[in-house]
Structure 1
Amino acid sequence: MAYDRYVSICNPLKYTTVMQKTTVNLLLFFAWILPAVFFLVAIILNTKKEICQFNLKGILCNSTVQTLHCVRSRTLNIYGLVNLVTVLILPVLFILFTYSRILVVLYRCRGVRRRAAQTCLPHLLVLINFSCLTAYDVLLLRLELNSPKIVGLIMTLQAVIYHPLFNPIIYGLTITRIYDHLKRLFC
């Protein structure tokens, strides 16, 4: 989505030549296949480990599954960090790069500022929220930090309640009918 917005805002005359069907299909293929392969490798690595306890410390069985193993696996920790870099950090850096380029174009061209900001800002807010939540979840387990229980509870509530509610609210506010209705409701 970020690349599409980048091409449409920064190179609008080249959009049809850059975003051809093969390019879109290739991007979609990697967006679906790469995470699936990473997930499959994680399942294979986890199935070879012996489980000693069956109680998860939390309501989510995200990366806390590794705490159930008898022996902490260095391979799983390294794989998790590689996975974090390739699935989260590199794409976020690419998206931030494309949005910085979009902001440069918006600064130069006043006619499209408002419309581009309305389409890009919600995506950026949701992306930053999700990235922080995911990075916290993965890094907390890998670095074996003993954070207070209230921090874990807040992050779990963010994953279960806040994040699923945050997306529709942020994207819904960009739709003028919803925005006008909420404005009348609260004013």
Structure 2
Amino acid sequence: MDNVSVVRVFTLSGINETMNYRIAIFSLTLLYYCMILFFNISLIIIIILDENLHEPMYILLCSVCINGLYGTTGFYPKFLLDVLSSSQQISYEGCLLQAFVMYSFACSELSILAVMAYDRYLAICRPLHYHSFMNKRRLSQLICFSWLTPFCIFSISIILTSTLKLCGSKLQKLFCVNWMIVKLACSDTVSSDVLSYATTMIYVFHGFFIIWTYMHLIKTCVKSKDDRVKFMQTCVPHIVSLLTFLVVIVFDLMYMRFGSTNLPQSIQNFIAIEFLLIPPMMNPLIYGFKLAKVRNRIVGLFNVRKK
């Protein structure tokens, strides 16, 4: 325990190899972040202002966009500052906060996608009972569940991490991740490990629930042409969003725990931030173009401006 010290600042070393291109990286990242803000905020405003879109599916889509803004705001502003800074450091408290944001964002995304799958299941498989099941109160409860569950879990996780004695302060990442902080611990990490495995099981269950709903959806849609049309219009965007998110987040988690460190740093960085690059930009675009009511509303706005 001689090497134990009180860590007050972490060094983020993931950005070191890209410093020769800092102006280009800063400009492209700022542009991309502004595009994420524009598309997500635009879709949120459209849904809020148009009473015809005050339906569970669109309210859940609004929740997805809000979550995208939450997660990307936890990364991009700090990253932009780091690109322009000579030293990429973050305070101990700031690092724990960023780790909390990253994890809660990812798990909230999966929870909201699970609720959206349940909403589509009710709309297509049990249409006569849809409005009684998916009323305003039930919808509010489900949205609160999708946000508060990961917030509570990762609040406990971050509190446990904050009690650990650390033997280092260097993180091989562009941003703070709870798992990477725990790896620096000199003390026993059993509590953190148990919570980590329990959390994994909770969200694996989310995945099985989504699979179960789509098994019933596909079974129902095979029998009815109208249901097939509804499935193509409302479920395909959800499937694309879900698969994209699962692929990028699982790939990142698997690489973080089992991947080789011999890959070039730029590739490691891309793997690490895929879930902050692709879903937050893709979700508002794919839903905006695919969902007829949203698309018609956007087209209507452009026609009004032309007149």
Superimposed CA distance per residue, residues 120-160 of structure 1 (whole angstroms, 9 cap, x where no aligned partner):
1111221222223333444455xx42424356334124133
Residue in structure 2 matched with residue 74 of structure 1 by the alignment = 190
Structure 1 runs (4+) greater than 4 angstroms displaced:
175-178
Query: Residue 174 of structure 2 contacts residue 269 of structure 2 at CA under 8 Å; is this kept in 1?
Result: no
Larger deviation, residues 122-131 vs 6-15: 122-131
Residue in structure 1 matched with residue 165 of structure 2 by the alignment = 50
Q: In the alignment, which of 126, 141, 145 is matched to residue 258 of structure 2?
A: 145
Length-normalised TM-score, structure 2? 0.51
Superimposed CA distance per residue, residues 48-105 of structure 1 (whole angstroms, 9 cap, x where no aligned partner):
101222221011212322233234623322311211120x211121112112211111
Residue in structure 2 matched with residue 169 of structure 1 by the alignment = 285
The one of the two structures with greater contact order (alpha-carbon pairs below 8 A, sep at least 6) is: 2
Matches within 5 A, 1:1-187: 1-62=116-177, 63-71=179-187, 73-86=189-202, 88-141=203-256, 144-147=257-260, 148-150=262-264, 152-175=268-291
Query: Residue 6 of structure 1 contacts residue 102 of structure 1 at CA under 8 Å; is this kept in 2?
Result: yes
Length-normalised TM-score, structure 1? 0.79
Residue in structure 1 matched with residue 11 of structure 2 by the alignment = none
Structure 1 vs Structure 2 CA RMSD: 2.5
Unmatched tracts of structure 1, length 5 or more: 182-187
Deviation at 1:175? 4.6
Identity %: 27
Q: Secondary structure at the match of 1:2?
A: helix
Q: Secondary structure at the match of 2:171?
A: coil
- Cα distance, 1:18–1:161 mapped onto 2, change above 3 Å: closer
Distance 1:72 1:81 in 2: 16
